[in-house]
Every structure is written in C-alpha cells, then in structure tokens.
Amino acid sequence: SSNGIFLERSKSTISEKGLKGSSAKLFPPYSIMMTSRATIGAVGINSSAGCTNQGFITCLPNDRIPYTFLYHWIVSNKETFELLASGSTFLEITKGTFKKINILLPKKDILNRFHIIVNPIFKQIENLLQKNTQLNEIRDRLLPRLISGKLKLKIAEEVQCL
C-alpha cells in the first residue's frame, strides 16, 4: 500500500513458483514504479524488492541517475506521458514509447549535490512511513482488546496547575 512516495508493501504478492513460472521480474529496492495504464503516472518507490504487473513501467536508478532525481523527473513529466499515451478502451503508454523519451540531465556534480540534499529527506519520509505502519498495526491489535474489555487502561488523574 502507498501512503506517500514509498511503496512499503502490496496486498497482492507473488510466490517463488509464480515468479519463476512467469515473465515477472523482481526489481531491487528503490526502483521507481509508474502506472502506465488507465491512470498514467501514479509513481512510487519500492522500499523492498518487488515486482509489478503489466500495468506498470519500472525504472531502475543507476550510477548516473540516482533514484531521487529519477523519481522527480518521472513525476514532473506525467503530462508528457499522458500526451504520448494511446488506446481505445483505456489510455496506455507502452514501454517502447517510454524508452524513446529523452531525459535531460544536469551535469554530474549538480546531480550528485541534488542527491546529497534530497536523499536524507527521502530517507526521513521512508522512516516515518515505516513508523506510521508500525503504529497502525499496534492500534489495530489493541483496539479490539480495549473495546472487548480484555485490556484495561488506568486513566491518569488530571493535574491542575494554579
């Protein structure tokens, strides 16, 4: 599920057997995944290894293009992808069309400085998302116990300040 730019986990998963017996590919963490059908340009970064169905285009960062820049480039070019999409039932940008799009890159030192500045922000977002997920799981375990009365809480007395 996605609560932001990071894709922490999916409701659907693929088994080892399914992965081996299909054309699905396992992508490394910090790949940029973009929807390419119907809703074009919804983007997320996977926090762990994962795969997608045919309704996605997945871009792998590399030594030249860090994931932070690649993410922002894809988000900022959503309109371009929509304009290049075709289809009668629903719009789709094909992988072939997507691969033909040129990426305008800044000089390597500027790109490196961008990544040095933005990466800690992305890591903080990812950490906070993980903490929110953990807190939601704790809430979901505790709430039924509180409602059923299996778990009792002491309510602190209100302190008055004069």
Mean pLDDT within 105-134: 95
* pLDDT averaged over every residue in the chain: 88
For the CA atoms of 69, 70, 76, 82, the dihedral, rounded to the nearest 10 degrees, stands at 170
Q: What is the CATH number of domain 6-148?
A: 3.90.220.20
pLDDT at 136: 92
Which of the four pLDDT bands, split at 50, 70 and 90, describes residue 1?
A: very low
pLDDT at 152: 77
| 10 pLDDT higher than 70 | no
pLDDT at 25: 82
| 142 pLDDT higher than 80 | yes
Mean pLDDT within 47-63: 91
Mean pLDDT within 146-160: 75
Q: Can you give the chain as a three-state secondary structure string?
A: CECCCEECCCCCCCCHHHHHCCCCCCECCCCEEEEEECEEEEEEEECCCECCCCCEEEECCCCCCCHHHHHHHHHHCHHHHHHHCECCCCCECCHHHHHCCCCCCCCHHHHHHHHHHHHHHHHHHHHHHHHHHHHHHHHHHHHHHHHHCCCCCCCCCCCCCC
Per-domain boundaries in the chain: 6-148
Give pTM, 2 decimals: 0.80
The answer to which of 40-44, 92-96, 132-136, 154-158 has the lowest mean pLDDT is 154-158
Mean pLDDT within 61-80: 96
